[in-house]
């Protein structure tokens, strides 16, 4: 029973870490989108 509880705790910690990572990925993706838009604007300005 103790092992089971420890496994559950470990899984919930893992879930928390995964959440943090996916939030970080969202932020990275947003930054990438901004950069992409700026890049397109720069290219359009050149032509």
- The per-residue pLDDT for range 1-47, each reduced to its tens digit, is 899 989 999 999 999 999 999 999 999 999 999 999 999 998 889 87
Cα–Cα distance measured from residue 15 to residue 22, given in angstroms and rounded to the nearest whole number: 10
| pLDDT tens sequence across 11-23 | 999 999 999 999 9
| pTM, rounded to two decimals | 0.56
Work out the mean pLDDT of the chain and round it to a whole number: 92
Measured over the CA atoms of residue 6, residue 12, residue 16 and residue 17, the dihedral's sign is positive
Question: What are the tokens at 9?
Answer: 């705790």
Query: Greatest CA span in the chain, whole angstroms?
Result: 69
């Amino acid at each position: 029973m103790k092992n089971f509880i420890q496994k559950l705790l470990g899984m919930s910690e893992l879930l928390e870490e995964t959440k943090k990572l996916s939030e970080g990925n969202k932020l990275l993706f947003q930054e990438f989108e901004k950069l992409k838009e700026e890049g397109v604007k720069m290219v359009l300005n050149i032509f």
